[in-house]
Each structure stands twice: as C-alpha cells, then as structure tokens.
Structure 1
Amino acid sequence: MTTFALVGAGPGLGLATARRFGAAGHAVALISRSTRHLDHLTVELARDDIQARGFAADALSPASLTTALHRAADALGPIEILQYSPVPHADFMKPVLDTSADDLDAPLAFSVKGPVACVNAVLPGMRDLGRGTLLFVNGGTAVLPNPERAGTSVAFAAEGAYARMLHDALAPENVHVAQLIIPGAIRPGAEHSDPDVLARRLFDIHRSRDGFRHYAEPLPD
C-alpha cells in the first residue's frame, strides 16, 4: 500500500480528497496545524474503512512539514501522491499599495518554501517507487493577479512557476506534477467547485497524468 499525503487537511476539500484517494486503496496522511481537524477527519475516514492518520505541522514551518511527511511515510508506507492545498491566511490578501516587503514573507513561506520542503521530503520515496504525483491547488490569483489580494497573487504565481519547473524536470522520472486552479470559493452543491467534484477532478488528474495546469471552471473575464 502506498500513501496519499494531504497538506492542508480540513473538513471541505481535504476530507473529500482524502476519501477519494483512500477509496482507491491508498493510506491517507493528513497534515494540518489543527489537531482538532486531524482527529475529526481521522474518525470520519475510519467510518469508510480508510486507513488514515494525522500529523501536525504548520505550512509556515518547512521543518515541521518535513518531519510530518517523514513520520507519515514511516507509519503508513511510501508517499506516492502529495497534495499541497492549505488555505491561505486572510492577512495575505492586502491591497497591493498597502503591501510592504515584510508583508510578503509569510505568503512566500506558505506558497514557496512550504511546497519546496514537501517535495524534497517525498521525492526520494517516489523515486524508489518509480512513480509519483505532486498536486498543487491554487486560487485564481495564481494566473490572474488581483490588486486587492497582493500576497496570494505574488505567492501563488511563484508556486505555479515552481510546480511548472518540476513538471518538466520530473516527467522523465515518471513523477507527474500538476496544478489545479479553483477560480472562486469552494461551495458544496456547486457544479464545478463542490468538494466532491474537485476531489474527483484531482483523482482524475493523478490517473490521467495529462498536462500541467487544469481549471476547475473557466476564469472570470
């Protein structure tokens, strides 16, 4: 059995993707700074006979992410799929003219240093397996900057650039890297942005291994 590792585990998209990948036979490593979320999700997944464990880490702390992913692989088995989709902090979204250089430290740690630490932690195991998938989930500001949300606009774009470089560099090693852009809010019951719909989309991206950038729905004009 291999492991699906989810960085940014929560009760919406996180639970839906954990359930979808768990139903396909993967153990599930849930990574979040909220132990309350981890305990709740583990119980929910156990009801579906999915093997899951929680590992506390903060997306702003690369060292804690590395430790959590190593612990997850030791406890559950090699990580074949990594999904990086923590929810950005509200204070990352200041208007561009109110954003100082220091204001970009946390968004860039969250969206660049965090992903780099996670990839470096799981890539050796994927190479040993001979396969792997790295999934990055971002909002629409990754490709359409919003001057009212400067931090995420800058940091998501940087994350996308990093992921795109990985896509090209790792393709010869059978490690597929993809980005899913979700332009608006995740809304239960919505045609394109319901958590279960998005979870199926992410699983399909993993299985099809086709292309780098995918959109949950078209970007607004």
Structure 2
Amino acid sequence: MTTIAIIGAGPGLGAAVARRFGREGFSVALVARGRDRLDRLVSDLVADGVRARGYVADVRDRGALAGALDSAATELGPVEVLQYSPVPSAAFLRPVSETSVEDLAAAVEFSVLGPASAIARVLPGMRESGRGTILLVNGASAVTPNGAVAGTSTAFAAESAYGAMLHDALASENIHVGQLVVPGAIGGGDPLFAPDALAGRLWTIHAERGPYRTTVGG
C-alpha cells in the first residue's frame, strides 16, 4: 500500500484530502505541530475507514520533518504523494514596509526550505518505485505579489518557482509536481473553495498529471 503525506494537516483541507485519497486506497500520514489536534484528526479518519497516523513535526525543524516522513514510510508504506500545505504564520502577513529581514528569512525557511527538505526526503523512494506526485498549495500571492502580505508573497513566489523547475526536471522520471493556487479563503462560503472541492482538484492533479499550475476559478 502506498501513502500520501500531508504536511500542515488540519481539520479543513488536510482532512478533506486525507478522505479523498483514503477512498482511493492510500494510507495517510498527517504531519503537523500539535499532537492533540493530530490525534483528533486521526481518530475521525479511522472512524471513516481511512488508514491514518499522525506525526508531530515543525516544518522549520528539518530533523523532525525528516524523521516524521521516514516513520510514515516505515509504518504506512512508501510515500507516493507528498502534499505541502501548512498555514503561514501571521508574521508573514505584514505590509512590506513593516516586514523585517528576520520575517523574510522565516517565511523563506517555512515556504522554500521546508518543502525542499520534505521533497529531498521522499524523492529517493519515489525514484526507486518509479512514480510519485508532489503537490504544493499556495495562495494568489504565489503568482501576483501582494504588498499587504509581503513575507508570504516573497516566499510563495520562490516556492512556486522551485516547484516549476522541479516539474520540468522530474517529469522524465514519472514524478509529477503540481501546484494548486487558491485565490480565496478556504471554506469561506464559496463552493469552489470548499475543502472537499479543493481535495477533488488535488486528486485530479495527481491522477491526470496536467500542467504545473492549476488555479481555482481560473
């Protein structure tokens, strides 16, 4: 059995993706910072018939993140799909004139070095199995800079560029890298941005392997 690892898993999009991929036979590794929230989410998923386990790690702690992914592969099965979608810190959402060097460094560590570290950990297994999917979930500032949220705009743009380069570099190895850009609030009332709808889009990105970027509503 193969596994999807969802980094930044929560009760909204993470849970919806876990259920969508779980219905397709995937085991689900949920990675987040809070043990209590993880335990509740795992309990709900198991009750719905999804094989799931939770792993505690902060995406800015590379050792913990690597350990979580290694444990998931050992306990659940090889990681065939990696989703990177943690919620950015409020410190990354300040106007550009109020954003410090330290804020930018933290945002890049969160949105560039975090996914790069996770991808580096699962890529050898994907190469060994001859298949894999890497899913990046970003807001609109990944494509259009927004001076009101300068840290995220800067780091999401870099993450987007990194993913696009990986998309081109890994395609010949049957490893697909896809980005879902969500230009709105997840679960904010618009059915296009409902967690279940977004989970369906992410499943399609994995299953159909189209272009690098998919924009909700675009």
Per the normalisation by structure 1, the TM-score is 0.97
Q: Any gaps of 5 or more consecutive residues in structure 2?
A: none
Q: Is the 8 A contact 1:176 1:209 kept in 2?
A: yes
Counterpart of 2:2 in structure 1 is 2
- SS of structure 1 residue aligned to 2:6: strand
Q: Find the aligned partners of 1:189 and 1:122 in 2 and give their Cα distance.
A: 35
CA distance, structure 1, for counterparts of residue 82 and residue 47 of structure 2 = 23
Q: Secondary structure in 2 aligned to 1:185?
A: coil
Residue aligning to 1:184:
184
**What does residue range 18-97 of structure 1 map to in structure 2 within 5 Å?**
18-97=18-97
Displacement of 1:44 in angstroms is 0.8
State the secondary structure of the residue aligned to 1:107.
Answer: helix
For residues 4 and 213 of structure 2, what CA distance do their matches in structure 1 show?
Answer: 20
What is the CA distance between 1:189 and its match in structure 2? 4.7
Q: CA 1:93 to 1:120, structure 2 compared with 1: closer, same or farther past 3 Å?
A: same
Runs (4 or more) in structure 1 with deviation over 3 Å come to none
Offset of residue 191 of structure 1: 2.1
SS of 1:192's partner is: helix
Deviations 1:130-159 (A, max 9, x none): 100000000011011111100000000000
Does the CA-based 8 Å contact 1:20-1:200 persist in structure 2? Answer: yes
> Once structures 1 and 2 are overlaid, which stretch shifts more, 62-71 or 193-202?
62-71
Structure 1 letter corresponding to 2:39: D
3-state SS in 2 of match to 1:49: coil
Q: Determine the structure 1 residue equivalent to 2:164.
A: 164
Q: Deviations over 1:154-185 (max 9, x none)?
A: 00000001100100000000000000000111
Specify the SS of the correspondent of 1:149: helix
State whether residues 141 and 152 of structure 1, in contact with CA within 8 Å, keep that contact through their aligned partners in structure 2.
Answer: yes
Query: Which residue in 1 is equivalent to 2:16?
Result: 16
> Deviations 1:176-220 (Å, cap 9, x if unpaired)?
0000000111026522100000001100110000110001124xx
Deviation at 1:59, TM superposition (A): 1.4
Residue 123 of structure 2 is aligned to residue 123 of structure 1: yes
Unaligned runs of 5+ residues in structure 1 are none
How much is the aligned-residue C-alpha RMSD, in angstroms? 0.9
* Residues 6-44 of structure 1 deviation map (CA, whole Å, 9 limit, x = unaligned): 001100001000010011001000000011221011111
Deviation at 1:61, TM superposition (A): 1.4
Q: Does 1:204 align with 2:212?
A: no
CA distance in 2, matches of 1:104, 1:86: 17
How far residue 64 of structure 1 moved from its aligned partner, in angstroms, is 1.3
**How much identity, in percent, do the aligned residues show?**
55
Query: What SS does structure 1 have at the residue aligned with 2:176?
Result: strand
Q: SS of the counterpart of 1:60? A: coil
Q: Distance in 2 between matches of 1:198 and 1:126?
A: 24
